[in-house]
Structures are given as C-alpha cells and as structure tokens.
Amino acid sequence: MSQSNISWVVVGDASGARIFKYDMKNEPWKLVETVAGDGSTKDTGTRDFGTKASEHKGALHAHGERKNDPKETAERRFAHQLSHVLERGLTEKAFGRLVLVAQARLLGELRENLSRGLLDKVVAEVSKDYVHLAPDELRKQLSDVIPSDLTLRA
C-alpha cells in the first residue's frame, strides 16, 4: 500500500534524530522513530550493513592537511545510519515526501548518503537546529517551508 500522501520530517543533529510523519500539514505529527547518534539507545536495525561507502569517502577526504576529526567521523557515521532508516521507510513505501531539518554540516553529510530515490522524495530542507523543539513547536517553525499541497510532483 502506497503512502504517497504521507510526509516524513527528519529533525536531527549529531546526537540523534526524530522522524515524524503527517498526512495533512496542519494535523498533529506522529513520532515514527528515534535514531540515536551513537547507536546507544534504540536499535533501529541499521547498524550492520557491511562495508560503508561513507568510510571510503572519508578516507578520500583525509588527504592533504586535513586530519580525521572524531566528531566529523561520528557525524558521517550517523548520517549513514540515518540514511538506512530512511531507505527502509522508502522501501516499505511508508512516505511519499521527505523534509530534512538539521544543521548545515549534518544536512550535507546526509545528502551525500541519500540514494537517488530518497533525494527525489525531498521536498524541503531547513538548515536549523530544531532537534529539541516539541512537535507542535516544530510544526509552527516549519509551516512556511513545508509544502501545503498533498500531491507529489511528477
């Protein structure tokens, strides 16, 4: 069963993310899943995916004067983990549209880890740290950027 009228809103930072869903823009959002940045809390089933492409990419970024920063490495791993959760939702047809809300660096890492299919579902990106806001406050803060139409663009 396709859920093309369902939107997922991912609100996160390096410490974790919450994924909400809504059918109509002004209706209350429901929490779909919470993903911990270090994997220490709720196991979302995304931890064992074999060799990670982002690890190889990270090796390329380490050339020259740049040193591996443990914080950046953790953020890359988290973006990879979160992309797997989103990919699972896409495979299960749990949503038709995707809104990403995170600080610029995490947004960039996340974008690099999203498949073409997920990127096609992204209807809005917000470069803000809203991770600690309550769902109702999030809805208010994001009301101007979230598309109001319920149909997907072709």
pLDDT surpassing 60 at residue 48: no
Considering the domain boundaries, does residue 2 fall inside one? no
**What does pTM read for this prediction?**
0.75
Cβ neighbours of residue 104 under 8 Å, at least 6 residues apart? Answer: 127
Mean pLDDT of 19-41: 81
* Max avg pLDDT among 34-38, 46-50, 149-153: 34-38
Helices 53-61 and 70-91 cross at an angle (nearest 10°) of 150
148 in a structural domain: no
Domain range for 113 is 7-142
In a domain, 128, yes or no: yes
Residue-wise pLDDT for 136-148, tens only, equals 999 999 988 887 6
Does some domain include residue 154?
no
69 has pLDDT over 90: no
Task: List the CATH number of the domain containing 31.
Answer: 3.30.420.60
Q: Is residue 113 part of a domain?
A: yes
> Domains in the chain: how many in total?
1
Please list the residues that pair with 19 across neighbouring strands: 10, 33
- Note whether residue 104 is domain-resident: yes
Q: 153 pLDDT band (50/70/90 cuts)?
A: very low
Give pLDDT, residue 116: 95
The CB density around residue 147, as the number of other CB atoms within 10 Å, is 14
